[in-house]
Amino acid sequence: MCQERSVSPEITVVKRVEPSEPALGTRRRKLWEVPHKYHCPVIGTCLDVGDLRRIASRFTWNHQGRHPARPSEYEIHVGFVAAAEERNLLSLATHKLLEKRYAGMVRRFAKARSTAELITLWDQALGAGECPGALWACMTHPRADAVVMSRVYEDVHMLSHQIGAGQRADLKALTETRQELARLRHDFDALQGRTRVQAEAREQEIAELTGRLARSEAERERLRAIEQSLREHLETSGVAARQAAIAERDARIARLEEALVVSESRTASWREQYHQAQAARDGYERQARERAADCAALERLFIQATSLSCDDCPNTHCTRRADLGGRLVLCVGGRKPLVEQYRRMVFDCNGRFEHHDGGLEDHQRRLEAMLASADAVVCAADYVSHDAYHRTKRFCKRMEKPHVLLGNSGVSSFARALEQVVGDVAPVSH
């Protein structure tokens, strides 16, 4: 229950007054019994687009999108929000999925016997990160009155703002990760170059040692042949001569074996160092791949939360070369910081520009008059109310007025829309 207190002619402060606890029944609300203004946050928070598409695939899906075979995520969301206002096959299937998915949370909230206990359970679930299930259980609870629903709606609304604020931290982390990745790539390239040079030198030395080892083996075979020859000679020669020859042979064999041991030891040492260098190189490659994956993940999150700039516009033919011939282009919705950029783009194309914010602040009744006077209409679906979006689409189809429905309100999307408008509308007669 609320009371309004006037502070100035322009500002009205709404003060919340806690009502006395009403005598509500014990039956939980169905989806279509929840006030319609809460259907948007309930469906958008408790179910993802994949869930909605699976439900919609079981029914005949009627929509007015540009791709009849596969509606956009926004069109899916709007369709389910509209269907939830009354009992029908689509709202029944949605209610059944919500009840099944959040049955545990519903049982937890069923213990609440007053609005105070219900608010306490909601705060606990919100602090534990269990917002979707708690939102469904709270909105359908028989003890949830208008004050409780408003409180829950406010918390969910502010949570969405907190998520947006977190994107700034993600952007900072993205910049730091890019710098770290560039440094790691530079270090990796330098290490790889040094490792390649060292590996080539070690391979050459190993080849030389292998050749020396082969020569040593050949020498040993030759000495064995000599030993056999000496044995035969000893049989026919004197003892002293035989002993002297044997001592000389043994000494030479000992020297060769010692040299062989040293060569084998050096070869083993070089091989071990080579394997260590390869392991270090593999570690740097793995670290670089991990850094690249982190950077790619942050880039995907950042791109989902931002719009393309003009510098990133994929159009090969600039829209500023188009000529609108003095025609009036009406933009419905879109982000306010970009409205002046829209206006300049239309003026640069020799056109006139008007803007309606899609029902956020401008009056809805003014929209019909602006639509009637426009030569072409561009509607940005991501920053417009549901009612203004559908009214604009119905009016343009009924009056066969050229129009473009944008999936987002970025500058590059508006530029592509202007190109289509130039090709669709007839020139203004003077």
How do residues 184-233 score in pLDDT, each as one tens digit?
998 999 999 999 999 999 999 999 999 999 999 999 999 989 988 888 77
Distance in angstroms (rounded) separating the CA atoms of residues 82 and 44: 13
Distance in angstroms (rounded) separating the CA atoms of residues 1 and 17: 5
Distance in angstroms (rounded) separating the CA atoms of residues 99 and 107: 10
Distance in angstroms (rounded) separating the CA atoms of residues 96 and 136: 12
Q: What is the mean pLDDT of the chain?
A: 80
Which region among 24-28, 66-70, 81-85, 104-108 has the lowest average model confidence (pLDDT)? Answer: 66-70
Cα 26 to chain centroid, rounded:
42
Residues 340-366 pLDDT 10s:
999 999 999 899 999 988 876 767 778
The pTM of this model reads 0.37
Mean pLDDT computed over 367-371: 88
H, E, C per residue of 200-221: HHHHHHHHHHHHHHHHHHHHHH
| Per-residue pLDDT, 129 | 86
Distance in angstroms (rounded) separating the CA atoms of residues 189 and 105: 53
Q: How far apart are the first and last CA of the chain?
A: 59
Mean pLDDT computed over 29-33: 93
Distance in angstroms (rounded) separating the CA atoms of residues 38 and 2: 18
CATH 1.10.287 domain extents, the chain: 176-304
The matching CATH number, chosen from 3.30.450, 3.30.420, 2.20.110, 1.10.287, for 176-304 is 1.10.287
Return the half-sphere exposure (C-beta side, CA atoms, 13 A cut-off) of residue 286.
Answer: 6
Residues 392-407 pLDDT 10s:
999 999 999 998 998 8
Mean pLDDT computed over 100-129: 91
| Per-residue pLDDT, 3 | 38
Give domain 310-424's CATH architecture: 3-Layer(aba) Sandwich (3.40)
Buried b (16+ CB within 10 A) or exposed e, 91-113: bebbbebbeebbeebbebbeebe
CATH 3.40.50.10700 domain extents, the chain: 310-424
> In this structure, is the dihedral angle defined by the CA atoms of residues 367, 370, 372 and 374, taken in order, positive or negative?
negative
Phi, psi of 428 (to 5 degrees): -80, 130
